[in-house]
A = this chain, B = another copy of it.
Amino acid sequence: MSAPASLQVGLVGLGRMGRRHAENIAFNTPGATLCAVCSPLAQERDWAQQHLPSAERYEDYQALLRHPGLDAVFLVTPTALHGEQIIAALRAGKHVFCEKPLSLDLEECQRVAAEAARHPQLKVMIGFVRRFDASYQDAHRKISEGLIGAPFMVYSQTADALDPDGFFVRFAASSGGLFLDCSVHDIDLARWLLGADQPVRVMASGVRAVHHELEAFQDIDNGVAICEFAQGRLATFYASRTMAHGHETMTEIVGTRGRLSVGANPSLNRLTIADAHGLRNECTPSFIERFAEAFVAEVRHFVDAVRYDTPLALTLQDAIEATRIAAAMRQSLLEQQPVQL
């Protein structure tokens, strides 16, 4: 049996994550060819010309979709564009990988789902990268094998390093706020690791500890939430923008016979320093370093699923549920009341 032809991929958006995905597709993914890239910015297209010379460059998304032989698109664009771009790609007959979140708007999520349902032969995946991290994969496998008995509780946090420039503050208006930007990852992990399909109620709270200017956006820089699922399952979430030591993604899953933790020490690497500051290790500065390998595995998974027509690890419905729960958490924060789901 001969392997299918190399998947012809076009990538849209060449910001930090876009460039990362582009290089992973081009140099780290057997069976994929990065044949086209698209950015409205001349500077980003210049970068592509130098670093990805074999990819055709486009300024316009519709033009990229007409690239000869194109099989699939990777959308690494602002969240507000996701919905229409996915729908356009599907209508052009292309498989779609899109960065998280699918959308901040539940109706738009449903429109995308409806369109996808009209193209059952096309794959659509939202990039919940943590599912492809080796440690989270290992946790999921061990739970499936029964190592911790019946899992019933998750604690999961996304804690970003403090950015003294307040870069993210300028995007607070469009990010959907802390829970929709950060906690969607944790929500997706909780659903996946607990096997919990029915959220029942959320309660949230939060503070502005450092970035007081977030008040203008009704946003917070540290928030916690409890999410109750059906059948006695429970999740607690914490998200922060203000860590001094780096990025720390951490998740605990408690079962009736044990507990798993992923990321209890956000170590940068295997180096330990013993000096006047004590015994210490440096930490991952951002999710980019933390999930460097998972981003590769994620792309490989998508490419393989398309080439061999195998099921994707996560569905559009998973992405919609993460948005739905995160939106309820934001509502609970603003209304200072539990929100039923």
Contact A245 B278 (CB under 8 A): yes
Please tell me if A121 contacts chain B, counting CB pairs below 8 Å: no
For A231, the closest partner residue in chain B by CB is B207
Please tell me if A27 contacts chain B, counting CB pairs below 8 Å: yes
Copy count, this protein chain: 4
Cα distance A77–B153 when bound, in Å?
34
Give, as a whole number of angstroms, the nearest-CB distance from A302 to chain B: 16
Which residues on B sit within 8 Å (CB–CB) of A201? 336
Which residues on B sit within 8 Å (CB–CB) of A134? 269
Residues of chain A in range 242-284 having any CB-CB distance to chain B below 8 Å: 242-246, 248, 254, 256-283
For A276, the closest partner residue in chain B by CB is B244
> Number of contact residues on A: which range applies?
35 or more
Give, as a whole number of angstroms, the nearest-CB distance from A162 to chain B: 8
Q: Which of B207, B240, B272 contacts A260 (CB 8 A)?
A: B272
Contact A209 B135 (CB under 8 A): no
Contact B258 A264 (CB under 8 A): no
Please tell me if A307 contacts chain B, counting CB pairs below 8 Å: no
Contact B243 A234 (CB under 8 A): no
Cα distance A26–B236 when bound, in Å?
44
Residues of chain A in range 10-29 having any CB-CB distance to chain B below 8 Å: 26-29
Which residues on B sit within 8 Å (CB–CB) of A142? 271, 273
Please tell me if A117 contacts chain B, counting CB pairs below 8 Å: no
Contact A270 B263 (CB under 8 A): yes
Cα distance A276–B259 when bound, in Å?
10
Give, as a whole number of angstroms, the nearest-CB distance from A80 to chain B: 30
The verdict on A226 contacting B205 (CB below 8 Å), with A261-B271, A272-B264, A278-B283 known, is: yes
Give, as a whole number of angstroms, the nearest-CB distance from A326 to chain B: 17
Give, as a whole number of angstroms, the nearest-CB distance from A62 to chain B: 30
Q: Which of B206, B233, B257 contacts A275 (CB 8 A)?
A: B257
Which residues on B sit within 8 Å (CB–CB) of A26? 30
Which residues on B sit within 8 Å (CB–CB) of A150? 209
The verdict on A275 contacting B148 (CB below 8 Å), with A209-B232, A256-B242 known, is: yes
Listed by A's residue number, 12 A-B pairs whose Cβ atoms lie within 8 Å are A27-B30, A138-B269, A139-B271, A142-B271, A224-B234, A226-B226, A240-B254, A243-B259, A243-B274, A258-B273, A261-B274, A293-B293
